[in-house]
Amino acid sequence: MAKVLTKAKASPVADEERELLQTESRYCSHGDTVHYAETPKIFERCEGSYLYDLHGRPYLDLQMWYSAVNLGYANPAVSNALRAQLDRLPQLACQYLHREKIELAQLICESIERGFGMKGRVQFNVGGSQAIEDALKLVRKHTGRSRMLAFQGGYHGRTLGASAITSSYRYREAFGEFADRAEFIPYPYTFRTHRGDGQRTEDECIAEFERRFEHEYTGTWNPKTRRAEFGALFVEAVQGTGGYVIPPKNYFKRLAKICREHGILVVDDEIQMGFHRTGKMWAMEHFDMQPDIIVFGKALTNGLNPLSGIWAREELIHPGVFGPGSTHSTFSSNTLGTATGLAVMRILTRGDYQASVPRKGAYFLGKLRELQARHREIGEVDALGLALRMEMCEADGYTPSRRLADRMFQLGLEGDLTIGSRTLGLVLDIGGYYKNVITLAPSLEITTEEMDLAALALDQVITRARQALK
């Protein structure tokens, strides 16, 4: 153990760190976290693109809390909004109204109307999975169906309902029966399925989906009543935990058309890719498709007081069809979360993120391409805005290398990379079907200097990881 700790010189801070870790191992359940690092890392402070450990060492964060902190750590405008709310109306039962809830709902509805040309309403909750649960209830209420379709490689959370539509059996295996487990259909993962031939992958996935509705013997479709057994298809415009897989341009449009023809709703999970991560407020705006329900969370509050929610088309959610108490949580539209969300939405709507995110994404992707030219273990790099992927492989550039990605992750957390006169660490995240994809979600405020530094640090981490595995 304590690979990181043994490197820290003996000091009161190192003693305190050791004690905290011992206390953690005695009192903290590991059930609510992923404990991915060999030694859990304790951070003390954060600012902009950086986290700082107990020793004051900086770590350039390239994943920003799985894209929950799009506007950078300790963003002053967002923190000030939270502080102001704390001083004015920090608590209020959700059955009463407050200004921020109403204005935030309006801003979200307006942005969806601008992006997709649809009218609807918003309701809030406190976490991504809980909002997914609310979307499931809405679909069930509207369609009378409890079975869903979702994607292989998709991730929608770990509450019981969200686990049932998340493709990893690993998350369900130990927890009994999931009667409403979704049926998981393939996602066009171009690099893995056809090594570059995107069109064929898209066509094959669409054809496979269409075949479900050819006749009654597919098991889920009645041509006489023209009803399917499924209430909705849950989609991520760019698969998050699945490894930032970006589908072909027309894929969702074609898929949604088939869903419409067969009475299946489309739920767009924007929890990880929403709020300008991809350069548009909603990632699905890139794909020219109109979802029926949109689910959001994470970056809505820039990682401050939790808030999530769903938007749905008016006919699905107006009070006449989805009345009071259809879903409820004590904290659902809490004042601190809505005030923070309102500040974030104002920043995102008034800023030039439509232009700056694609520009920065292209620059960062260029840096990743340079790395790919130097390291044959990088099988693929790709990006949509500032959602970037770097797929780590064996020397053949194709066989997935989980151990290389793992080593890079650990080396980043050791905090002793040297770039010129600077010593720093790197916070990375790993996703993908084979757990071999470095998924990069830097701050939308990342500077060119920070992207240059990130490329140098990644170069060093890959080189060191390769050497360590020899």
Ligand X SMILES: Cc1ncc(COP(=O)(O)O)c(C=O)c1O
Residues near ligand X (CB under 6 A) are: 66, 127-129, 132, 155-157, 236, 240-241, 269, 271-272, 297
Structural tokens at position 308: 């999530």
Smallest distance from ligand X to CB 305, Å: 13
In angstroms and rounded to an integer, the radius of gyration of the C-alpha atoms of the chain is 23
Smallest distance from ligand X to CB 157, Å: 3
Q: Which long-range contacts (CB under 8 A, 24 or more apart) does 92-100 make?
A: 92/334, 92/335, 93/330, 94/328, 94/329, 94/330, 94/331, 94/332, 94/333, 94/334, 98/335, 98/338, 100/335, 100/338, 100/339, 100/341, 100/342
Smallest distance from ligand X to CB 379, Å: 23
Question: Side by side, which strands form the sheet with 147-151?
Answer: 120-125, 308-313, 293-296, 265-269, 230-235, 147-151, 183-185
Nearest to ligand X of 49, 166 (CB atom): 166
Nearest to ligand X of 131, 371 (CB atom): 131
Concatenating the DSSP letter of every residue in 382-425 gives EEETTEEEEEEB-TTS-SB-HHHHHHHHHHHHH--EEETTEEEE
Nearest to ligand X of 26, 170 (CB atom): 170
Contact call for residues 316 and 138 (beta carbons, < 8 A): yes
Smallest distance from ligand X to CB 253, Å: 20
Contact call for residues 340 and 305 (beta carbons, < 8 A): yes
Nearest to ligand X of 235, 393 (CB atom): 235
Contact call for residues 14 and 8 (beta carbons, < 8 A): yes
Smallest distance from ligand X to CB 329, Å: 13
Nearest to ligand X of 238, 393 (CB atom): 238
Nearest to ligand X of 236, 380 (CB atom): 236
Smallest distance from ligand X to CB 235, Å: 10
Smallest distance from ligand X to CB 124, Å: 13
Structural tokens at position 90: 């920090």
- Would residue 337 be called left, alpha or beta, if left means φ above 0 and alpha means ψ between -120 and 50 degrees? alpha
Contact call for residues 13 and 55 (beta carbons, < 8 A): yes
In the block, which residue shows the tokens 């570059």? Answer: 196
C-alpha atoms less than 13 angstroms from C-alpha of 42 in its C-beta half-sphere = 18
Nearest to ligand X of 310, 316 (CB atom): 310
Nearest to ligand X of 156, 212 (CB atom): 156
Nearest residue to ligand X, using CB?
128
Structural tokens at position 290: 């109109």
